[in-house]
């Protein structure tokens, strides 16, 4: 359960986010020292973060950035829920430390925290397909690159959500097999925010893939995951799959 909480806190603890109060940051660091599984996971996340940073242009931080983030958060429908969920999670932790009899309580309240819940997901189509997802995202002003539509298996789409990364809001498509044997995130990046030389490099780099580079779509798809997981989400018959 501690591991679940740590993973839910990760987006808030990134270098450029600095959203965690020192006490929580300290808890997070001490858990990382004690838990090899979380520590390995954390390092992988950091590596992917660094890859994304290199793929995207360096951003000049606007003076009113904090205020704009704050306004954006207030717009998020789940903002109140998120705050309440985090408080409940911390309260639950204290209780758990006090007595394992109350373990069920912590378990009940902490479980709903996941990335999608933190950032507010977009409702998925009933049967995700390249066409259905493309149409859905079009309504949100995001175009799915043709190469992703053609080569990617959309049946395993499990969530669509926004994250604030490298100083921008990004749309994420999360793909996961039902038996959890493979799990990747596809980030839809506006091409004008990207550095072409870096994208070219990440195209065949272990742990990343880039789709949509050779077309003139306004978005490219930046895929992040373990190499064998990425390979498993190409459609059957695709040369890479
Ligand atoms: Zn852990």
DSSP state of 61: P
Share of the chain above pLDDT 70, in %: 75
* pLDDT tens readout for residues 147-174: 999 999 999 999 998 887 777 788 999 9
* pLDDT tens readout for residues 56-108: 875 555 666 667 666 766 666 555 666 777 777 777 777 766 655 544 444 44
Q: What is the 2 CA–ligand 1 centroid distance (Å)?
A: 6
Q: What's residue 111's pLDDT?
A: 36
User: What does the alpha-carbon distance between residue 208 and residue 202 come to, in Å, rounded to a whole number?
Assistant: 6
For 165-184, letters b (16+ CB in 10 Å) and e give bbbeebbbbbbbeeeeebbb
Q: What is the 39 CA–ligand 1 centroid distance (Å)?
A: 7
Q: What is the 174 CA–ligand 1 centroid distance (Å)?
A: 22
């Amino acid at each position: 359960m501690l591991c679940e909480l740590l993973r839910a806190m990760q987006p808030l603890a990134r270098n450029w986010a600095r959203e965690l109060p020192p006490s929580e940051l300290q808890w997070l660091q001490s858990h990382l020292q004690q838990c090899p599984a979380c520590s390995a996971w954390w390092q992988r996340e950091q590596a992917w973060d660094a890859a994304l940073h290199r793929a995207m242009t360096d951003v000049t931080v606007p003076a009113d950035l904090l205020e704009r983030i704050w306004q954006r958060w207030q717009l998020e429908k789940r903002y109140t829920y998120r705050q309440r969920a985090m408080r409940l999670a911390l309260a639950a932790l204290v209780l758990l430390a006090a007595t394992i009899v109350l373990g069920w309580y912590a378990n009940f309240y902490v479980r709903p925290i996941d990335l999608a819940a933190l950032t507010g997901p977009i409702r998925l189509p009933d049967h995700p397909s390249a066409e259905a997802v493309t149409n859905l995202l079009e309504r949100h002003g995001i175009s799915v690159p043709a190469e992703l539509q053609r080569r990617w298996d959309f049946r395993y789409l499990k969530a669509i959500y926004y994250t604030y990364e490298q100083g921008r809001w990004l749309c994420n498509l999360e793909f996961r097999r039902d038996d959890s044997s493979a799990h990747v995130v596809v980030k839809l990046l506006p091409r004008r925010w990207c550095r072409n030389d870096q994208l070219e490099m990440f195209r065949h780099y272990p742990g990343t893939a880039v789709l949509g580079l050779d077309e003139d779509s306004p978005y490219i798809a930046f895929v992040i995951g373990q190499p064998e997981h990425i390979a498993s989400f190409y459609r059957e018959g695709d040369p890479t799959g």
